[in-house]
Amino acid sequence: MFRGVATAAESGSGKAAQGALAGTRVIELADESGCYCGKLFADMGADVVKVEPLGGDPARGINPRAPDGNEPGLFFRCNNSGKRSVTLDLEHAGARELFAGLVARADLLIETTPAGYLDQRGLGYGQQSQANPALVACSITPHGRSGPRARWKASALTVEAMSGSMHVTGYAEDPPGRLAGRQAWTAAGSWAAVSSMIALWHARNTGRGQWIDISATECLASVAHITGVGKYLDDGIVPRRSGPGLFASVPSGTYRCTDGLVYLMVNRPSHWKALAAWINETTGNKEVLDPMFEGASSARLPHRELLDIFINEMTASFTVDQVYREGQRRRIAFSPVNTLADLAGDEQLAARGYFVEGEDGLRYPGAPFRHSATPWQGGGHVPAAGEHNRELLLGELGLDAERFERLVAEGAL
């Protein structure tokens, strides 16, 4: 049924051999919680094959839509460009055989299925690694593959809540507030990509793959450690919701200017001295120069509200751009609080060529990091569900045409 197993480099990925991961084959059996991990690999030149259910990944329907109103939505387009797509119903024995064939030729499997799902269908890592000992498999789930919550269902919202990030987001008097976008999945995808890269390096040096267990809750908790348990262990502070301010940075938060808001973070004693001097020059306030405010951020924590009054009095005299530019000159971490429209027209992002144009003519976020010798490749083609069924199953796996048509008729692909 299949030709002999070939390496990803031999089989060819359809991408120019210039990306950092050119020649790497990735199979992605992932929903919205894992597609960002696959995107990072695709943008670095890997050949990422997205395995979708027959109706397509439900993430295709996530709002917002493009101006034309058509599916897939912008979330899917942004996180799945540059990938190839096959559709397989893994409840069908023939589809499971094809899936196993794809994984046998891969370097990495990214999957977000519920705990036990693949094992029950003979597709678990133990079975897959027998055919492909160098295979790296990365499982991304809300709470990990083991422990009392391993089989709990979850969403990005509940992961935010259980990670502790929601506990410190917003104002104390307001209802619970969620993070913008799907930060839980972005954090999990980032950690999954880093972990997979380490495991791939190990596999290429030893010939031995391994299985990676990623908990989205733990990933988001680690990202938010500065306002979570880490802050208690470091400084004995139990973080509470206090608006935009950070416990690890006092003063910090948003401050009103004549035409908008700026965000400030003060971390080092020298930063505070520079800010205090500026406040004094602008407003004549001498109290702000009191030595009691100097030193580490924790020393200023009891005076947070008073310092906010001092800072607001100064920023109210300037535009956002004036505070930002002068803050840069004085080495104080002021930043504009941008709207999405502001970001789209940002001079620095434009000068850096950050945004990329997709095949649909829309602009998308660009490279999260840049390599000098192996360029990032974003903004590629967004595949239709099953667009590459024939190319991959007939062309690369060597499935004969008659068998292919029979599996289509049976609803396997």
Measured distance CA(213)–CA(197) in Å, rounded: 14
pLDDT of 138 reads 98
Measured distance CA(366)–CA(232) in Å, rounded: 36
pLDDT of 247 reads 74
Measured distance CA(150)–CA(141) in Å, rounded: 8
Tell me what the pLDDT averaged over the chain comes to: 90
Full set of structural domains in the chain with CATH: 8-223+362-409 (3.40.50.10540), 252-256+261-336 (3.30.1540)
Q: Is the pLDDT of residue 303 over 90?
A: yes
How many percent of the chain have pLDDT more than 70? Answer: 94
Question: Tell me: the pLDDT tens digits for 66-91?
Answer: 888 888 999 999 999 999 999 999 99
Residues 6+ apart with CB under 8 A from 206: none
pLDDT of 12 reads 39
pLDDT of 6 reads 35
Is residue 213 within 8 A of residue 145, CB to CB? The reply is yes
Q: Residue 128 is encoded by which pair of tokens?
A: 């897959």
250 C-beta neighbours (distance < 10 Å), count? 24
Measured distance CA(307)–CA(320) in Å, rounded: 19
214, β-bridge pairs:
140
Is residue 343 within 8 A of residue 349, CB to CB? The reply is yes
48, β-bridge pairs:
26
Question: Tell me: the pLDDT tens digits for 334-362?
Answer: 999 998 888 899 988 999 999 999 888 88
111, β-bridge pairs:
29, 139
pLDDT of 170 reads 84
Measured distance CA(176)–CA(352) in Å, rounded: 37
DSSP H helical segments within 253-363, as ranges?
A: 269-283, 297-300, 304-315, 320-329, 340-344, 347-351
Give me the sign of the Cα torsion angle 372, 373, 376, 377.
Answer: positive
Q: Is the pLDDT of residue 302 over 50?
A: yes
- Cβ burial of 193 (10 Å; 0-12, 13-18, 19+) is buried
Q: Residue 336 is encoded by which pair of tokens?
A: 């504009």
Is residue 224 within 8 A of residue 166, CB to CB? The reply is no
Instruction: Please give the average per-residue pLDDT across 201-211, as a whole number.
Output: 96
Measured distance CA(60)–CA(39) in Å, rounded: 15
Quick one: which H or E segment has residue 333?
strand 333-336
Q: Indicate the DSSP class of residue 400.
A: -
265, β-bridge pairs:
252, 333
- Cβ burial of 313 (10 Å; 0-12, 13-18, 19+) is middle
Question: Tell me: the pLDDT tens digits for 123-180?
Answer: 999 999 999 999 999 999 999 988 899 899 999 999 988 888 888 888 888 888 888 8
How many percent of the chain have pLDDT more than 90? Answer: 68
Question: Rg (Cα) of the chain, in Å, rounded?
Answer: 25
Asked whether the bond before 72 is cis by omega within 30 degrees of 0, the reply is: yes
Q: Is the pLDDT of residue 3 over 60?
A: no
Q: How confident is the model at residue 287 (pLDDT cuts 50, 70, 90)?
A: very high
Q: Indicate the DSSP class of residue 303.
A: G
Nearest to 49, CA basis, from 88, 17, 77: 88
pTM: 0.87
Q: Is the pLDDT of residue 183 over 80?
A: yes
Q: How far apart are the first and last CA of the chain?
A: 16
Q: Is the pLDDT of residue 5 over 80?
A: no
Q: Are strands 25-29 and 47-52 parallel, antiparallel or unpaired?
A: parallel
Give me the sign of the Cα torsion angle 397, 130, 52, 118.
Answer: positive
Instruction: Please give the average per-residue pLDDT across 396-404, as a whole number.
Output: 94
Instruction: Please give the average per-residue pLDDT across 56-62, as a whole number.
Output: 95
pLDDT of 16 reads 44
E-state strands within 70-123: 84-87, 108-111
Q: What angle do CA 372, 377, 382 make, to 5 degrees?
A: 170
Q: Indicate the DSSP class of residue 265.
A: E
Measured distance CA(168)–CA(43) in Å, rounded: 33
